[in-house]
Amino acid sequence: MGVCQRGALLALTFALVLAISVNGQDSNTTLVPAIITFGDSAVDVGNNDYIPTLFKANYPPYGRDFVSQKPTGRFCNGKLATDITAESLGFTTYAPAYLSPQASGKNLLIGANFASAAAGYDDKTAYLSHAIPLSQQLQYYKEYQGKLAKVAGSSKAASIIKDSIYILSAGSSDFLQNYYVNPLINKVYSPDQYGSMLVSTFSSFVKDLYGLGARKIGVTSLPPLGCLPAAITLFGFHQSGCVSRINTDAQGFNKKINSAASNLQKQLPDLKIVVFDIFKPLYDLVRSPSDNGFAEARRGCCGTGTVETTSFLCNPHSIGTCSNATQYVFWDSVHPSEAANQVLADALIIQGLALI
């Protein structure tokens, strides 16, 4: 970690200590009142457990390194990057999956998670996998606002809505599970054109969220999609490194979403929006795993060892699931391990200081 990064983390730690000293140990000691999350499997904490889809992570070995050592619906061996970020902001518990029984009463005061694995900016991506499309996630958020007002009172609920951090993670499923494998789309649109369509939806979503009271929004960039083990297996044709054309598409999309975010901030008064760059930190891990304490970056800890993919091919009967996931950049063939998520979370918290 560089000097600037350490300085930023020290500043964040100081702010949290100050919040504790001012508010007292028995009061709310978080730097923001709540975290509200939308998107895909990178941030899903269990909503897909409650819908009829193949994309679930509610069975071992998912969750084996989580605090409870049980599967939680997270597509990871342990914590997601957003879990670690929440802890950095002072939260001792995580905002619940909205469809779970835990999403009720006072639990709603710290936010809610509406994300659904296999969802994307393109609602058709979610429909293909029977996931919860982003448009429906927004409808659930409207429901949440009503429930929050009943629990907290309208005045406090409005304050929570305004001061919360909103996280949005999408786009990976649109490309990997829809565009690249769907000739109905990839024969009609170039990756650049499809990316522009997705970014248009992103802009509309942010405007809708803003209209519902959100003022602090963090959106993740696309990761280096061409470096994911599943992408290398399916599209790499046995080449030794990442699939460069897919990474190029991801970088093109990231430029578009950065530009769109900049325009939105100019258009919408009081909006703070940050695009979290997760491409570079994850790409650095893949290119130089040993420099960061990892031993394996080309295949997931959990998978079949042949045609690697995620979810239903990572299960209790998976061939060769590794014993120590801290050595692996990827947990399954798409999702980072908790150890890699720690690296991503460090980047998220530094880049997101403007939202706090």
Active site residue 238: no
Handedness of CA 300, 303, 307, 310 (dihedral sign): negative
List residues bridging with 241 in a β-sheet.
none
Rounded Cα–Cα distance for residues 125 and 233 (Å): 21
100 is catalytic: no
DSSP-assigned letter for residue 176? I
Give the C-alpha distances (Å, rounded to integers) separating 231 from 78, 91, 120, 350.
Answer: 23, 35, 17, 29
- Output the DSSP codes for 55-92: ----STTTTTTSTTSS--S-SSSS--HHHHHHHHTT-S
Please identify which of the residues 83, 249, 277, 332 carries the catalytic annotation: 332
Q: How many C-beta atoms surround the C-beta of residue 6 within 10 A?
A: 11
Dihedral of the CA atoms 332, 194, 113, 342 (nearest 10)?
Answer: 40
Choose the catalytic residue: 49, 221, 311, 335.
335
335 catalytic? Reply is: yes
Which residue among 41, 164, 318, 337 is the active-site one?
41
Asked whether the CA dihedral 219, 67, 48, 302 is positive or negative, the reply is positive
Total H helices, total E strands in the chain? 12, 5
Residue 296 bridge partners (DSSP): 328
Active site residues: 41, 332, 335
